[in-house]
Amino acid sequence: MKPLCREINKDKVCLIGMDLSKSKYDGMNYYANKELRAGFKMSRDDIIVNKHLCREHKARVLKHELIERRLMKRGMKYKNADMIATKYEKR
């Protein structure tokens, strides 16, 4: 988890644990929320992760959201960013 902490600090994101049990998402970043019109109230620096996940799954979701956020921040569309983030989260 330490490398993820460095990534969070590097990107200056705010990690928010939220109950997403009624949502189809385990996590969400600002750019994906905006494109998908998911309806979460969040700032550009926020990443939401379902607080009910086990530690390992939270780490995977966070890694996914960090990668996806970086790609979308540079202009990539959600579908492509999500596909790339899914590949890298498993590493």
| Domains of the chain and any CATH numbers | 2-89 (3.30.2010)
Profile the chain (91 residues) by mean pLDDT over runs of 10 residues: 67 90 95 97 95 94 94 97 92 75
**Alpha-carbon span 30 to 28, nearest angstrom:** 7
> pTM for this structure?
0.88
Q: What is the H or E stretch that residue 47 is in?
A: strand 46-50
Residue 9: what pLDDT? 74
